[in-house]
Every structure is written in structure tokens, then in C-alpha cells.
Structure 1
Amino acid sequence: MLALLAALLVALPPGCGTSARDGTPDHYVFFRRDHARVADTSFLQHPQLVGAQLTYTWRELEPTPDQYAFDGIRERLTFLTAHGKRLFLQLQDVSFSETMVTPDYLRADTAYHGGIARKYEAGPDGVARFDGWVARRWDPAVRARYVRLLAALAHEFDGRIEGVVLAETSIGFDDPAQVPSGYTPDVYAAGVRDLLTAARAAFQQSCVVLYANFMPGEALPDQDRGFLRGVHTHAAAIGAGVGGPDVLPYRPFQRSHSLALIAQRPPGVLAAMAVQDGNLGDRDRRTGRRITVAELTAYAVTPLRLDYLFWGTEEPYFTAEVLPFLRTLPPR
């Protein structure tokens, strides 16, 4: 009986990943915030493209406390469903520019300690520079507000959308003078796990995927404090999926972090990754040869065993290479 209960607790939602369980990924187009492109005929009429992944920021979905703006999601979902396509949401609470992605009320209310923090990443020269904004994921008060957003989304869209992607875990505070209050790598890792638990509890039918690519405070394999491994282990324990925003098999840092852990994940754990800008322009450092769409797809199947592959629209690769190659695959 205990074994049965454990299996039920970690099982994937019934509507999640059912079509992608044949050893090959379902192919989606990652339109980012260019939502109008779901009407492109090259997408709608492509037999191998199962659906679209669209990005929405916390800021636009909850402009004021507990007042949710889901009309855009409703419109795109209705359109895609009418055309036999599915929808994956990517929820963004982190940016890599001056763009603010959290609601203004978080910054205005002292209960949320500013609500958001500036990130600083060290470059090759060792100098830490501003690298965007991240919601205070380690802050229980901020996290509680995000959990309410997840619950509201699930109340309306659970089972109607294919899944939800939580934004990447990789952040940095490499400038010691700019470390935000309350933050430590350990507290951050615990907050990430709590958010994933809340998302999985909210969405009982749609997929939940966390882009667990890197974690601050460690660098695998030499400096392993268990942060990234712990997040992947936790995802497997609660029936959530894992993934990342870049498929870069030539990069040693990616191979020792997200790519390695995704390839090593236990059977039955969902995995999804995005082919983002720069991925198809990447070159083998040994030969100088650029990766091909066929090679990247093969890598997604073996060793990664991906269930979902989200193709970015970077040109000239998308039109000249991605769409024609996908047409050579058997229709879904």
C-alpha cells in the first residue's frame, strides 16, 4: 500500500506528456513574446509541429494584487485549439536586461522587501556587471504571491494547456556589494524547490517543467554543493519535469550541469528543452563545424530522451533548416 501511494504521489498528471512517450520529443515552436505568430501558416500547416510555447511575465499576468489578466492566454489558447495545436506557457519572473518582469505592487509594499533584485554576472575579465532582474524567489512573502498566481492559472487552465514552464534557475550575484537581503545559495535552493512543489500541486493535469540549468553557489562537477542535483531529485520525487533554455552539446559547462542531469534522470521523469538563439549557430570547438538541426535533434533523443523540444525562431535557421528538417520526420 505504501508503494502504491508513493507511485500515485510522483505520477505525472494524466494529461501530461501522453503523446510524447514514444521515445521521440513532441516539437513546439518557441515564439517567446511574439504571440501573434501563432497565426503563421508555416506553423499552423506543419504536420510535425504540435503546438506553441509562449512567454508571459508575472508583471502582465497580475498587474495588481489578486487581479489577473489572462485574456491574452485565453485568446491564444482558443485560437490554437481551433487549429489542432497545443499551448505551453513559459512564466517569466527573471529578465536579462533592464526589463522589469514583476508587478509594481511588490516594489511598493515593504512586506515584499522590494520584490525583485538586480543580478550581477562576472564576465571573462572577472568584473561583475548588471545582468537583469529576478524576483526574490528566496523570500517567503514574494514566493507566496507567486504561488497565488500559479493557483489562479491552474484554476482556469489546468488540463486545457499542455504545460507550464518555470523560468531558469540560473542567477548570479557575483558583486559582493550587491547581494540582496536574505539571500544565500542554500535559501535560494530551498525556495526554488518550494515553488516547484507549489506549481506541481496546482497543476494536476497539465505538465510542470522547471528549467533547472545552473544554481548559484556551485559549479559542477568540482564544486558540487548539491543544489542543482537536489532540485532535479526533488522534481523526480514530486512528478515534475526538468529542462533548460539551451541545447548546447558542445559546451562543457552545459554538459556538466543541466545536460548531464537530464540525461541521467530516472525513467518516467519528464524533460523539455528549448533551442534558443545561438544554439544552431554553435560550433564544435575542436573542428569548428556548426551543429546541424539533424544532429541537435538526434542529441535530444539520445542521450537526453526529451519529451518536448521547443524550437526558437532565430533566422536564417528556422525557415531554411528547422522547418524543412521537421517535415522529414513522421507526422505526430
Structure 2
Amino acid sequence: MNVKLLIGLAIALASPLSALIATPASAADNIANRYLKASEPYSKATCPVKPDGINNFVYFSRDREAIQGHPLLTNTRFSGAQIMYSWRNLEPSEGQYDFSDIKADVDYLAQHGKKLFIQLQDASFSPEYKPVPNYLLTDKFDGGVTGQYTDDGKLEGWVAKRWNDAVHARFERLLLALGKEFDGRIEGVNLQETAIGVTAKSDHSFSAARYIEGIKANMQALKTAFPKSTTMIYANFMPDEWLPWDDKGYLRGIYDFGNQIGVGLGAPDLMVTRKNQLNHALAMMHENSFTVPLGIAVQDGNYIGETGTEKVVKKRKNLVPMLHAFAADFLKVNYMFWVNQQPYFEEDVLPCFAEYKNIQGGQ
């Protein structure tokens, strides 16, 4: 997620407004800070976490082999595993699909009474990895992918041209093939985050309007392909918009559309003290009512209040009970995806999701 680039865009877009707002105590500043202390009421939450109807999954990214013998298999508090599968691996050549990894994971989890939640990868945060099939990397599909860049112009990954009609048509066929094979057999499937490091300057085929159309088209195709299993999109940030100052209705529109067609809404990174996340996806969930499932992912670094880091902090407060309480009460989510990051998952998550007994009721 290229938050730095989005912040840079926001500053540029908000500059006329800044000239009119003179003091830190302004209304715009106040609204931007409105949720900064929202997590404080949940800071005293403790372990073990009481069952509350949230479906808890363990997120393995693309490390699918790690589910073998994993503690989630014998813990009734976890519904199953969320695993990322790249478009590149699922369609090695045009129209030829290989779902063998998914089938193996569905069967293995089922042996232990667990379900699979698929995350489809069409974007990467590695300059070395293009997550789409080679046949898309041609003129017929306008190259198929485009680079994601930081605000200083550094290439940080790739994303499928979601706004390109030809690329969308191939993605829709992938979804339909997956749905034919797995709808009703898996717990759910989610599309990757909407935040991308792309601008009209870095890719002349891109525009915010076309991007919104492409995202909605993918959402509709997802719902058509999976009428039984849970469907979801990680809608966290949108290009050319920065909330709350520059609200063009882009992100809000995605949430409204998902609720309208029956596609769940979610986001990566449960960052409860960061204005960026609080003013975007977390605000969307908190401020609105939904008839579709909501989900939130606790990803690398979130166990220590950061994001995208492999840092190991030995002396730390266990944030898991607070994160769970915040997600349950403030966001009212139906799904939580806990990343299998060590040592935090073993030392912090598992103790909080031990088999729970209602001592007061004598059970």
C-alpha cells in the first residue's frame, strides 16, 4: 500500500483549502483527528478473548505450506486459513487454469474441520514480481500491468491494469472458473486492496474514473462467480482522493456499491492510532450500516502497532485483546484475519484464543 504517494497527492490537492484554514484548531483539523483516541476505551481488554461470533482466520500470505501441522488445525477458535494465490500461478497460459494448490489446501483444511478463505493476488509490492500471467504482458492488453511507485519515483511493485477492459475480461473469466470449482466449498474469497501507487503521470492509460469503473466491474464479476461463498474486497484508499479533506466520494462509493450488490468490505492493516487508516477504511466501517460482511486484517507489524515490518520486539504489550475489542465494537466486523507472523502469533495470539470456558456459568 503506497500511503506515501497518496499523502503526497492529498497535500497537492488540499493546498487551496490549506490557504483558507489558518489554525490547527480549525474544523478540518478537528475532523481529521476525530478518531485518534478511539482505541483508548479498548486498551484494558484482556485475554482470553471471549467468543463473539467473529470468524477468525489465520493469514499465511503465499506461504501455503505453513498450514501443515499449524496450531489453528486443533483450535476451535479459528475457522480456517486465508491464503493468497496469484493470478500468475492460477492461469499459467491463456484460458488454461491450474487450481491444484487450492484444491489441496481445501482438502487438507477440511480434514481438520477448517475452511479456506482465498485472497486473489493481482498486485505485488516487489519490483521483481509481476503477479499476472505472461500472456497479459503484451500489446493486446497494453502490457497487462503497470508499475507502482513511491512518492520519490522508486519502483516498489506492480499491479494489473484493473481499468483496462481487456484485462478485466480475462480476470472475470478467472473468477468464473474459480467459482465453478469452489463456490460453496470455500468460506470466501477477497480481492486485494484498492490502494495503488499509480497516477496518470506514471501511466497515461490510468484515470481515477476508469479505475473506479474497473474496481466495480471486478466486484460485480466476483459476486456473479461466487453467489454462495462470502465475497469481499479490501477497500482502503482510492487514488486522487484523501479523506477527510478531499472527499470525492470514491472510497465511499465503493462501500456503497459493495453493500448494494452483496460484496463484503474489508481492509488490510488494523492500525488503530494512524490517521491514514482511521480516516479511510476504518471510518467507512464505523460510520455506516451494512448488510454485507465486514472484515479486517491484522498484518505484519500490526502486533506492535506498526505496518509492513518484520521487527521483533521482545518486551511488549500484547495488543491482541485491544485489536480484537476495537474490531468487534468500533468496526463491528464479521471476519478477522490474523497474520501468522512470529513470534507474535504464537506468543500473543494463541494465548488469547485459547479454548474459552464460561467459568461463571460453570461450563
TM-score (norm 2): 0.79
AA aligned to 1:163 is G
Change in Cα spacing, 1:177 to 1:217, as seen in structure 2 (3 Å) is closer
Query: What's the CA shift for 1:121?
Result: 2.3
**Structure 2 SS opposite 1:315:** coil
**Structure 1 SS opposite 2:331:** coil
AA aligned to 2:330 is P
Distance across 1 between alignment mates of 2:193 and 2:65: 24
**Structure 1 SS opposite 2:185:** coil
Contact 1:56–1:89, Cα closer than 8 Å, also in 2: yes
Contact 1:29–1:49, Cα closer than 8 Å, also in 2: yes
* Higher deviation after alignment, 180-189 or 260-269: 260-269
Distance across 2 between alignment mates of 1:152 and 1:330: 43
User: Residues 46-97 of structure 1: CA distance to partner in whole angstroms, max 9, x if unpaired?
Assistant: 1211100010000000011110000110011011111100000000000011
Query: What's the CA shift for 1:254?
Result: 0.3
The equivalent residue for 2:303 is 280
The equivalent residue for 1:161 is 186
1:144 aligned to 169, 186, 191, which one? 169
**Alignment partner of 1:326 is 2:353:** yes
Q: After TM superposition, where is structure 1 displaced by more than 6 Å over at least 4 residues in a row?
A: none
AA aligned to 2:130 is M
**Alignment partner of 1:209 is 2:238:** no
**Structure 1 SS opposite 2:296:** strand
**Structure 1 SS opposite 2:95:** coil
Structure 2 residue runs without a partner (length 5+): 1-50, 307-315, 359-363
**Structure 2 SS opposite 1:28:** strand
Contact 1:24–1:306, Cα closer than 8 Å, also in 2: no
Distance across 2 between alignment mates of 1:97 and 1:140: 25
Query: What's the CA shift for 1:268?
Result: 2.0
1:67 aligned to 96, 105, 108, which one? 96
**Structure 2 SS opposite 1:72:** helix
Distance across 1 between alignment mates of 2:189 and 2:265: 11
**Alignment partner of 1:305 is 2:332:** yes
Distance across 1 between alignment mates of 2:290 and 2:132: 36
Contact 1:23–1:305, Cα closer than 8 Å, also in 2: no
**Structure 2 SS opposite 1:280:** helix
Change in Cα spacing, 1:28 to 1:282, as seen in structure 2 (3 Å) is same
**Alignment partner of 1:223 is 2:246:** yes
User: What does 1:176-325 align with in structure 2 at a 5 Å threshold?
Assistant: 177-178=201-202, 180-282=203-305, 292-325=319-352
Contact 1:28–1:311, Cα closer than 8 Å, also in 2: yes
Distance across 2 between alignment mates of 1:41 and 1:167: 25
Q: How many residues align?
A: 298
Distance across 1 between alignment mates of 2:357 and 2:79: 12
AA aligned to 2:168 is R
Distance across 2 between alignment mates of 1:186 and 1:297: 35
**Structure 1 SS opposite 2:222:** helix
Contact 2:76–2:355, Cα closer than 8 Å, also in 1: no
Query: What's the CA shift for 1:128?
Result: 3.0
Contact 1:282–1:291, Cα closer than 8 Å, also in 2: no
Contact 2:163–2:211, Cα closer than 8 Å, also in 1: yes
Distance across 2 between alignment mates of 1:75 and 1:330: 33
**Structure 1 SS opposite 2:190:** strand
Distance across 1 between alignment mates of 2:125 and 2:67: 25
CA RMSD of aligned residues (A): 1.7
Give the number of the structure whose alpha-carbon radius of gyration is greater.
2
**Structure 1 SS opposite 2:85:** strand
* Higher deviation after alignment, 262-271 or 54-63: 262-271
Distance across 1 between alignment mates of 2:234 and 2:248: 19
User: Residues 13-40 of structure 1: CA distance to partner in whole angstroms, max 9, x if unpaired?
Assistant: xxxxxxxxx9531111001111112222
Change in Cα spacing, 1:330 to 1:227, as seen in structure 2 (3 Å) is farther
User: Residues 86-137 of structure 1: CA distance to partner in whole angstroms, max 9, x if unpaired?
Assistant: 00000000001121100000013x2200000001121xxxx23212100000
TM-score (norm 1): 0.86
Distance across 2 between alignment mates of 1:32 and 1:24: 24
User: Residues 210-235 of structure 1: CA distance to partner in whole angstroms, max 9, x if unpaired?
Assistant: 00000011000001111100000000
User: Residues 272-326 of structure 1: CA distance to partner in whole angstroms, max 9, x if unpaired?
Assistant: 111100111117xxxxx85611000001101111111110011221110101101
The equivalent residue for 1:101 is 131
User: What does 1:7-86 align with in structure 2 at a 5 Å threshold?
Assistant: 24-86=53-115
**Structure 1 SS opposite 2:60:** strand
Distance across 1 between alignment mates of 2:252 and 2:357: 35
**Structure 2 SS opposite 1:327:** coil
Distance across 1 between alignment mates of 2:318 and 2:283: 19
**Structure 1 SS opposite 2:240:** coil
* Higher deviation after alignment, 182-191 or 227-236: 182-191
AA aligned to 2:353 is L
Distance across 2 between alignment mates of 1:133 and 1:214: 17
Structure 1 residue runs without a partner (length 5+): 1-21, 284-288
